[in-house]
Structures are given as C-alpha cells and as structure tokens.
Amino acid sequence: MENYYMGVDVGSVSTNIILMDEDNNLISKKYLRTQGKPIEIIKDGLHDLKKEMGNINIKGVGTTGSGRYLANLMLGADVVKNEITSHAVAALNYIPDVKTVIEIGGQDSKIIIIRDGVVVDFAMNTVCAAGTGSFLDRQAYRLGIGIEDFGGIALKSKNPVRIAGRCAVFAESDMIHKQQLGHNQEDIIWGLCEALVRNYLNNVGKGKDISSPVMFQGGVAANIGIKRAFEDALGVEVYIPENYDVMGALGVAILAKEEVKSKKESSFKGLEIADVEYSVKGIECNGCSNMCEILEIWADNQVLARYGDKCGKWSNMSKDNIKLA
C-alpha cells in the first residue's frame, strides 16, 4: 500500500488539509471554512478524506496555523510547526533558491526572507485589514462584482486611480469618493490592487531586503491583479506555485515526512478519530496574577489535555494525573 503524508493548517478563516505522496506530490486537498469551530471542521475534513481515498496508509502528520496545538491534540501529529517555517519549507520545495516569500491570506499577511535555504528574517501583519484578502472581498462586494473577477477587471485599466491604502477605513471612503467623481470601475479596482500592495510593502515589507526569486502564496495569490501590482512595484517577476492556497499544510507535511524517517513510526491516531465526539471547556486558573484561561479537550468523558497556560502547570500535566472536574 502506498504511503501518504498529511498536513493540516488550521487558521482563523480556513482549515486546509492535504495529502501528499513520497515524492511531495499533492494527492488531495481540502479547503474548509473554520467558522470558529476548528474541531468540527477538522473532523469534516477527515470524513471527506475517508470518502475520497478509502483505506489508506498515512505514514506521517504535521500541523500548523494558529490552531496547530489543538489539531495536534486531536490527531497525534508527528510535527507541530509555526506558519513561517511551514510556508518557507513549501516554497523551497517549489523553488530551491527562493529568496522572498509573500503570503497574504484572508485575515493576515506575512513576508519571509530566505537566504541559502534558511529563514533569516520575517514579519507578520495581524492588525491592519487593508493588507489582507478580507479587504478585497469587502470592496468587491461593495462594487457588485465577484472576487474571482477582481484581478481580470483590474488589468483592463487604462487610467489608474490612486486610492489611499494606509488604512482599510480610509481606502473604502476614498474608493467611494472616486466612484462619485465618475471614474471607471476597472480603474478603481486597479487602484485598490495597488493600494493593497503599497500597504503590504510599507507595513509588512518595510525595511526588508526583498530579492528575487519572489514567490507569492496564500489565497490572495489567485488574484492576477495583485500579482501584477507586486511585479510593477518590485520590478521583478513574481512566481505563484500551483498549490498557492495550501502551502502551509504542504510544508508541514514535508516536515512530517522527514520527522517520521527518524522516528520510524508515526504518532497519528488514525482517520477513525473523525468519529470521536470532542468537546472544549474553559476554566480559569487562579494560581497567580496571570489568571490564564485554560482550555480542556474532552473525549469519551475524559480530559485528553489542558492548554493555554503560561507556566506549564496545566499543559505539562500528564494524562494519568489529570483529575476530572
């Protein structure tokens, strides 16, 4: 039976689950909206995999994203890595000499600087919406067009309109002002693409040595208008990998494959966990002034784990020593 490796990227907007083979070829990918229910969404993704692939041998599993620790508790991952490492590994798998990775998702964006295959610098933006995909979604809705058509319309622009891009609120009011002045829709949309790129380079990319080859990944990479705006601003070609939308999951699957080589055996609990009933409960620790909110993961009337503390008092507690409340 052929061996497969699974990568799970749990973010605030989406949860991506991929399967790859021994040669790092993507076999299956699931893009699911997290909807504030990561446990249920992970289970849904595993159910979909079982229906699609049947009885398969998953030899290694990795988790990444903001919900990586929760996913690890459910799945029994072999590696748990942050998004920076996972995206860098995936980018290097496509272009071994890549030097800059631009990643823009629905709620955040990041830049990764790589030299000789090693991450030497990075930055993330989790505050300003003007540099993320949600900004484009909102403006597309306001303009009455599908986000999938956004980039194509932008490239039809003949007289670009400059739109303030320092802040999502100002950008939106400026866009409305330009509409009222009678500017063409395609010129306004191209202006929005340029505004997002300016915001990204001025905030996330500020002070960074952005060198070629440059790779663009994340959901926003599907927008050809943003790609062109980056190329105009940087003066270099911007590469978009085939699986731009699941690069985090792909990267952590590659890391899991490497980890299993040394471990010889995976920690993965099996696809059957999709049928287990999980629940999450919150408790407050009064042990010190931090007043940490501890999350308990329950299954089959047992506490599987507790996490969320700063000192390790709860998260380091072994399963055998956990007392049921």
CA distances from 186 to 145, 159, 272 (A): 11, 9, 50
> What pLDDT is attached to residue 249?
95
Instruction: Decide: 250 and 9 in contact? Cβ < 8 Å.
Output: no
Query: Which residue numbers in the chain have pLDDT < 50?
Result: 318-325
- Is residue 25 located within the same domain as residue 60? yes
> What pLDDT is attached to residue 280?
76
- Is residue 113 located within the same domain as residue 177? yes
CATH code of the domain covering residue 171: 3.30.420.40
Average pLDDT, the chain: 84
291: three-class secondary structure by DSSP: coil
- Is residue 101 located within the same domain as residue 218? yes
Instruction: Decide: 240 and 215 in contact? Cβ < 8 Å.
Output: yes
> What pLDDT is attached to residue 100?
97
Which distant-in-sequence residues (6+ apart) come within 8 Å of 46 by Cβ?
17, 271, 273, 274
* Euclidean distance between CA atoms 149 and 154, whole angstroms: 9
Pairing of strands 109-115, 118-125: antiparallel
> What pLDDT is attached to residue 173?
76
Per-residue model confidence as pLDDT tens digits over 190-218: 888 888 888 889 888 888 999 999 999 98
> What pLDDT is attached to residue 99?
97
- Cα–chain center distance at 64: 8
- Is residue 114 located within the same domain as residue 131? yes
- Is residue 231 located within the same domain as residue 132? yes
Whether the link from the prior residue into 213 is cis, omega within 30° of 0, is: yes
- Is residue 232 located within the same domain as residue 164? yes
Q: Minimal CA–CA distance to 87: which of 197, 240, 217?
A: 217
Question: For the chain, give me the number of helices (H) and strands (E)?
Answer: 9, 13
- Is residue 20 located within the same domain as residue 63? yes
Instruction: Decide: 279 and 296 in contact? Cβ < 8 Å.
Output: no
Question: What is the domain count for the chain?
Answer: 3
> What pLDDT is attached to residue 17?
95
> What pLDDT is attached to residue 297?
76
Can you give the pTM of this predicted structure?
0.82
Per-residue model confidence as pLDDT tens digits over 161-173: 887 766 656 667 7
- Is residue 53 located within the same domain as residue 71? yes
* Euclidean distance between CA atoms 214 and 102, whole angstroms: 7
Count CB atoms within 10 A of the CB of residue 237.
Answer: 11
Among left, alpha and beta (phi > 0; psi -120 to 50; other), residue 207 is left
- Is residue 134 located within the same domain as residue 264? no
- Is residue 24 located within the same domain as residue 56? yes
> What pLDDT is attached to residue 228?
94
Instruction: Decide: 88 and 64 in contact? Cβ < 8 Å.
Output: no
> What pLDDT is attached to residue 292?
81
* Euclidean distance between CA atoms 161 and 264, whole angstroms: 58
Q: Which domain holds residue 143?
A: 96-240
- Is residue 295 located within the same domain as residue 175? no
- What is the DSSP-derived secondary structure letter of residue 313? T
- Is residue 57 located within the same domain as residue 157? no
